[in-house]
């Protein structure tokens, strides 16, 4: 079972469907536990999973940073032909017989997308909404920008992007993420950067059904039934 969050509803779905392994993108144990009791929702989830004999694997940041991972997928929604590189490349500490350190060019934190050709901002937003299958996105514009402002570069971070965007070595036209702090958005627009926010898990969830599930089915074959949780959804609604 593939899911972004291992919520009580997703656990119940896994129990109904006799799931053996859960791939939960977000680790269900995020903050440390000193005890396991039924009085706490997070702890109760762990106890239910253990009692049912289900295994849980959480790739989270590794899946964001990997080549062909979540951030690369987000970039492809805007421009599959554009040049994409990590904001912060992965450093590899070598061991004998090659003790040198190196940085990869395809894996790392976040992405910077250089579009193959300039694209109006409103078209970038439309591409993102279409790819994520969401009806709305929050957009912040710098002073003087219009909907048709030409976009040449986009910095991308699935989930929460504020800390990652602080690693940028050079300015970009647009910051794309799920969420950012209020003052971080103000700082970005003051610096001449537009911001597109789609809510935290909306920037992650589509990857499971559109990319990861097909890859796992091709890799594991018909002997393993790959499911995507139907009960997993973004907790925030727009009324």
Q: What is the pLDDT of residues 183-232, one digit of tens each?
A: 999 999 999 999 999 999 999 999 999 999 999 999 999 999 999 999 99
Measured between alpha carbons, how far is 176 from 170 in angstroms, rounded to an integer? Answer: 16
222 annotated among ligand-binding-site residues: no
184 annotated among ligand-binding-site residues: no
Please state, rounded to an integer, the average pLDDT across all residues of the chain.
Answer: 94
- What local confidence, expressed as pLDDT, does residue 31 receive? 77
Complete domains list, the chain, with CATH:
2-58+203-223 (3.40.1390.30), 63-200 (3.40.1390.30)
Q: What is the pLDDT of residues 97-130, one digit of tens each?
A: 555 455 567 899 999 999 999 999 999 999 999 9
233 annotated among ligand-binding-site residues: no
Q: What torsion, rounded to 10 degrees, do the Cα atoms 213, 219, 224, 229 define? A: -10
Q: What is the pLDDT of residues 143-163, one digit of tens each?
A: 999 999 999 999 999 999 999
**DSSP state, 223?**
G
pTM of structure: 0.92
User: Given the DSSP bridges, would you call strands 55-57 and 2-3 parallel, antiparallel or unpaired?
Assistant: unpaired
204 annotated among ligand-binding-site residues: yes
Q: What is the pLDDT of residues 76-90, one digit of tens each?
A: 999 999 999 999 998
Across 26-49, average pLDDT: 88
Measured between alpha carbons, how far is 229 from 231 in angstroms, rounded to an integer? Answer: 5
């Amino acid at each position: 079972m593939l899911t972004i969050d291992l919520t009580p509803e997703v656990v119940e779905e896994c129990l109904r469907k006799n799931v053996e392994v859960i791939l939960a993108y977000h680790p269900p144990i995020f903050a440390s536990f000193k005890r396991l009791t039924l009085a706490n929702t997070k702890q109760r989830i762990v106890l239910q999973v253990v009692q049912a004999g289900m295994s849980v694997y959480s790739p989270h940041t590794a899946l964001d940073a990997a080549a062909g991972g979540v951030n690369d997928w987000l970039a492809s929604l805007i421009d599959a032909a554009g040049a994409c590189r990590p904001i912060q490349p992965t450093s590899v500490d070598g061991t004998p017989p090659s003790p040198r350190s190196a940085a990869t060019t395809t894996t790392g934190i976040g992405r910077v997308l250089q579009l193959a050709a300039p694209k109006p901002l409103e078209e970038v937003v439309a591409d993102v909404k279409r790819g994520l299958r969401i009806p709305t996105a929050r957009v912040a514009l710098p002073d003087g920008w219009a909907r048709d402002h030409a976009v040449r570069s986009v910095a991308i971070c699935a989930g929460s992007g504020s800390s990652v965007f602080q690693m940028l070595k050079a300015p970009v036209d647009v910051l794309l993420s799920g969420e950012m702090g209020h003052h971080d958005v103000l700082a970005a627009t003051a610096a001449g950067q537009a911001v597109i926010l789609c809510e935290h898990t909306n920037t992650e969830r589509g990857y499971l059904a559109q990319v990861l599930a097909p890859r796992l089915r091709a890799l594991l074959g018909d002997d393993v039934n790959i499911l995507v949780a139907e009960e997993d959804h973004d907790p925030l609604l727009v009324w």
